[in-house]
Amino acid sequence: MATRRTLIEHGTLIDGLGNAPFKGSVLFDESGILAVGEMDPAVTADPGLIRIDARGKHVMPGMIDAHCHITFDEPHSNDELFFHRRPGLAAIIAAYNAHKVLQAGVTGFLDADCIFDLGVDLRDAIEANVVAGPRMSTGGYVMMTGVGGTAGRLLPDTGTRGYGVVVGSREEIVAEVRRQIKIGVDWIKVHVTGIIPRQAEAGEIQIWSLEELRIVVDTAHQLGIPVAGHCRNASSTRDAARAGFDLILHATYMDDEALEALVKHGTPIVPSLTFQANLADHGDLVNASPELRAIFRREIEESAAMLRRAVDAGVPLLCGSESGFALTPYGEWHYRELQLFVEEFGLSPLEAIRCATSEAARALKMYGKTGALKAGMHADLLVIDGDPVADIRILGDKRRLEHIFVGGRAVSREPPRARAPISGWRVGQFAERALTWDMAHGRG
């Protein structure tokens, strides 16, 4: 049975493909977008249409966040994330957070790695309409070598913890890729860089060999599954591109060789500068350490020029906010990556919107199927009271999001219920600093 059709009329349309905005209407139902632009009067005369008057409003595709950690629940530290989460409750809370993400105008996201392999279950629950959420594409545990990835010695020598699984031999790598694909992941994710103590080079270094990366990619590709890499230095981005990775998260600190490899292979990148920018710009509000803030500011400054060169050379650029941490809570900062693309890379707002819509659809494995106002696309779209082309930050103001549609269905606009603290869920501390004799006696 055909579903009821909706007509959003008289709006200014931003197509998500980078074209100049134009006046017109959008006609759609649950099967997809039926027509865009000037409408045939015979069609708009249908009394059975659901009509939305978008005069003075902007209509655009829903945002797609290519880097969102839906199962983390805003941890304040890796210790909290790795040692204060339990699988059942984490899944229930992830569903609560998916609702928040959707209410921020995000109609699709990629969660490339999740704690306890929960992503597959959440995705299936969203698709079955058991819980409300954006379209979701998911990985399982992120694969790391024994040296420990971004969480260093918090990771065990073998097995899983938090969002990570440690693999060593070729046999282990192949077995883990196949295991994840068996449970139904959309993506395999690899931490290609990690933090090593007492190393000369500051920041993250490559923790996989090119040979090992090729084993991951060949095994996954043979089964039709793409591979995403967390790459936060030059050699990791170069080798991930050479190994055939399908998506690179961060791609920061590139050198010429890394850039050349990216361009040659056309590997899409998700710089994910929002976490760093939030820490650098607003870290004082949440008592982040000044040293950490300086490190992250430097990562943006040192990477922006190379990332811009990659974009100019035709490398696909996707918006991903790294939402899911205390510094990037759900439903708050998804729009900020667009703003940073404008400010740091000099993109126009329309280009930034394209990176968060039609381009970011690559992360959902739905390139050419959603993320654009075009007949035949899925009807994932927003009606906004305001002009994001004049001011991209408008996309962060949830009060201006008048309508959200996913798959042609109106999203009910309920604010998330306020939640109370859960015992043992956040890291507790005895004190912020050590209580010395001097302090107790008014001398410290």
Nearer to Zn ion, 267 or 272 (CB): 272
Angle at 102 between CA 293 and CA 231, to 5 degrees: 40
- Applying CB under 5 A, the span of 155-163, 210-218, 294-302, 317-325 interacting with Zn ion comes to 317-325
Window contacting Zn ion (CB under 5 A); options: 287-295, 321-329, 343-351, 402-410: 321-329
* Pairing verdict, β 409-410 and 401-406: antiparallel
Helices 336-345 and 274-282: crossing angle, nearest 10°? 80
Question: Tokens 């699709």 appear where?
Answer: 108
Q: Which stretch binds Zn ion (CB under 5 A): 43-51, 153-161, 253-261, 318-326?
A: 318-326
Contact 240, 217 (CB under 8 A): no
Stretch that binds Zn ion, among 117-125, 149-157, 320-328, 372-380 (CB under 5 A): 320-328
Helix (H) or strand (E) holding 336, with range, is helix 336-345
Report the alpha-carbon angle 247-17-277, nearest 5: 55
Nearer to Zn ion, 136 or 377 (CB): 136
For Zn ion, the closer of residues 25 and 274 by Cβ is 274
- Measured from the CB atom, the residue of 246 and 322 that comes closer to Zn ion is 322
Which residue is it, tokens 């249409």?
49
Binding mask 34-53 vs Zn ion (x if CB under 5 A, - otherwise)?
Answer: --------------------
Q: Rounded CA gap, 188 and 112, in Å?
A: 7
> CB of residue 13 vs Zn ion: minimum separation in angstroms?
33
Cα angle 347-22-317, degrees, rounded to a multiple of 5: 25
Nearer to Zn ion, 54 or 114 (CB): 114
Pairwise CA distance, residues 215 & 206, whole Å: 16
Question: What's the start-to-end Cα distance of the chain, in Å?
Answer: 75
414: which 2 tokens? 């309920």
Q: How many residues bind Zn ion (CB under 5 A)?
A: 1
Return the residue matching tokens 């922006």. Answer: 304
In this chain, which stretch among 257-265, 315-323, 367-375, 393-401 interacts with Zn ion, using CB under 5 A?
315-323
Burial of residue 128 (CB within 10 Å: 0-12, 13-18, 19+) is: exposed
Q: Which residue has the tokens 């500068």?
A: 273
Interface segment toward Zn ion; rule CB under 5 A; list 314-322, 341-349, 382-390, 399-407: 314-322
**Residues 158-191 as b or e (16 or more Cβ within 10 Å = b):** eebbbbbbbbeeeeebbebbeebbeeebbbbbbb
Site string for Zn ion, 237-256 (x = CB under 5 A): --------------------
Shortest-Cβ-distance residue relative to Zn ion: 322
Cβ nearer to Zn ion, comparing 176 with 322: 322
Least distance to Zn ion, CB of residue 252, Å: 12
* Residue 163 C-beta: closest distance to Zn ion, Å: 9
| Cβ at position 258, least distance to Zn ion in Å | 19
How many angstroms separate the CA atoms of 358 and 37, rounded? 18
Tokens for 54, please give them: 């978008």
Q: Which is nearer to Zn ion, 59 or 136 (CB)?
A: 136
Residue 443 CB, nearest approach to Zn ion (Å): 44
Closest distance of CB 322 from Zn ion, Å:
5
As measured in angstroms, the least distance from the Cβ of 65 to Zn ion is 11
Report, in Å, the least distance between residue 172 CB and Zn ion: 23
Nearer to Zn ion among residue 122 and residue 383 (C-beta): 122
Residue among 34, 53, 54, 32 at smallest CA distance from 43: 34
CA distance 270 to 371: 16
Structure tokens at 45: 């005369």
- Closer CB to Zn ion, residue 150 or residue 267? 150
- Least Å distance between CB 69 and Zn ion? 6
Segment near Zn ion (CB under 5 A), from 120-128, 319-327, 391-399, 430-438?
A: 319-327
Piece of the chain touching Zn ion by CB under 5 A; list 256-264, 316-324, 348-356, 434-442 = 316-324
Check if the beta carbon of residue 42 is closer than 8 Å to that of residue 392: no
Of 322 and 359, nearer to Zn ion (C-beta) is 322
CB 142 to Zn ion: min, Å: 9
Site of interaction with Zn ion (CB under 5 A): 322
